[in-house]
Amino acid sequence: MNAFTQKPGRRDAQKDATRARILETARDHFERHGFEAASVRAIAADAGVAAGTVLLHFEDKRALLHAALFDDLAATAAEAVRDEEPGTLEERLHRLAAAFFGYYARRPALSKTLLRESLFADPPWQARFAEQVAVAHGRVAALFEAARARGEVAEGADAALFGVAFFSFYYFALIAWVQGAHPAPVALLDRLVAQHLCGLRPADHPGRSR
């Protein structure tokens, strides 16, 4: 049986499996060798396919990098936003951030490339990465709104604006970690969020700044 006589479902499954194998191999090469030194030919050889097969799935090495990062982050984001464990706003934001930074810590060299490439990617990846951020921002805003309903933050506090502030802190902590300026980015983010929330508490809240 060849590719022309196989049923479509089986061909699609094989194609997906090949793509997944190429991506996992690419992540390993980018982590060990860096983006510039990694080669499509070497990635193909370790994935057990021809270089042409890699380029059939991905336009070039940069597209391969973007796909590898996008799929990895998409899986991390999907798991993080499904977290329904109860807790205060600060506790839930901590878990959300810890999920992403846990991914970065598992692949520190790749994370440096991730920061550069996801922030300054060309279309269509620019829009895809922006969509991931938008989904995470929506999750942060939803957590804030739930906290407001519980009386943790003031009634007039803006959930969307808080989401922007959270991601400002998040990217500051991420850059500080990537540059080696701070060894504990999640703890830094926690402190930044806690200080920001002091001004957003209800007047009678014990954590309200005076």
Give the CATH number, domain containing residue 52.
Answer: 1.10.10
Examine the domain organization and report whether 103 and 47 are in the same domain.
no
Rounded to the nearest 10°, the torsion over CA 102, 185, 138, 132 is -60
List, for residues 163-172, the tens digit of each pLDDT value: 999 999 999 9
What pLDDT does residue 22 have? 96
Q: How far apart are CA 186 and CA 208, in angstroms?
A: 23
What pLDDT does residue 8 have? 60
| Domain end position, chosen among 58, 79, 101 | 58
Examine the domain organization and report whether 53 and 113 are in the same domain.
no
What pLDDT does residue 119 have? 73
Examine the domain organization and report whether 3 and 103 are in the same domain.
no
Examine the domain organization and report whether 67 and 133 are in the same domain.
yes
Residue 105: give its domain's CATH number: 1.10.357.10
Instruction: Quote the DSSP letter at residue 127.
Output: H
Examine the domain organization and report whether 48 and 147 are in the same domain.
no
List, for residues 51-64, the tens digit of each pLDDT value: 999 999 999 998 89
Residues (pLDDT < 50) of the chain are: 1, 4, 210
Domain housing 156: 62-210
Examine the domain organization and report whether 139 and 67 are in the same domain.
yes
CB burial readout 147-157, b (16+ within 10 A) else e:
bbeeebbeeeb
Examine the domain organization and report whether 82 and 145 are in the same domain.
yes
What pLDDT does residue 31 have? 87
What pLDDT does residue 2 have? 52
